[in-house]
A = this chain, B = another copy of it.
Amino acid sequence: MPKVETFDKSLVIEQVTDVFHDKGFNATSMQDIVDATGLNRSSIYNSFENKHNLFLECLIAYQDKNRNRLSERVLKAGSSIEAINMIFKIYLEEITKHENDKGCLIVNCASEMANHNEVITRFLQNNKDEMIKLFEDLVQDGQVNGLINKRKSANEYGLYLYSSLLGFRMTGILISDRTALESITKTITQTLT
């Protein structure tokens, strides 16, 4: 009977996500993955087939975690404008948590791999559509309730907020000063009111 190695898949995904997040997809070697997980190469290949598939699983887990974190706090917000502010606040907290911020795994992935790999590009496109839709729905709600101005349509503001969030998350790689970061988020969101 072949030796069957069992492992905690979600723990492995978490360990490998940290490596990908720190080094990026291309700079992560199979040896890095072996070192981070303690698994041998054949177990990794048997379970995930290749580095791309393993990376995609990490992206999906990271997206799920982000999605849960966002929706949980967005639901608690008293109004749609508070919910939008909350989204930027969550990213602000993420940026200021570590001294040498490495950015967002998904944004970094877009910069490193979009338009190179079809499956990854599809993941990134879906993630983008989901974020725009989230902002669009919040803006629409805010416009109905008179909390957000109607100078732009909900779709236009959705696009703007998505682009602004990407920029804010990227800026956090090079700026760690909380006052500067808070100022940026305020200017972004005050456009809506």
Contact = CB atoms under 8 A, between A and B. Distances in A.
Counting chain B CB atoms within 10 Å of each CB, the highest count among A23, A112, A125, A128 belongs to: A112
A77 interface: no
A71 to B, nearest CB: 22
Interface in A84-126: 100-103, 107-108, 110-112, 114-116, 124-125
Nearest to A110: B173
Contacts of A111: 24, 103, 107-108, 111-112, 170, 173
A122 to B, nearest CB: 11
Contacts of A102: 114-115
Interface string A71-83: 0000000000000
Interface string A143-185: 0000000011000110110111111101101110000100110
Task: State the number of copies, please.
Answer: 2
Interface of A, helix, strand, loop or mixed by DSSP: helix
Contacts of A180: 159
Contacts of A108: 111-112
B183 A160 contact: yes
Interface of A: 23-24, 26-27, 100-103, 107-108, 110-112, 114-116, 124-125, 128, 151-152, 156-157, 159-160, 162-168, 170-171, 173-175, 180, 183-184, 187-188, 190-191
CB-CB nearest 7 A-B residue pairs:
A167-B167, A26-B26, A100-B115, A160-B187, A26-B27, A111-B111, A166-B167
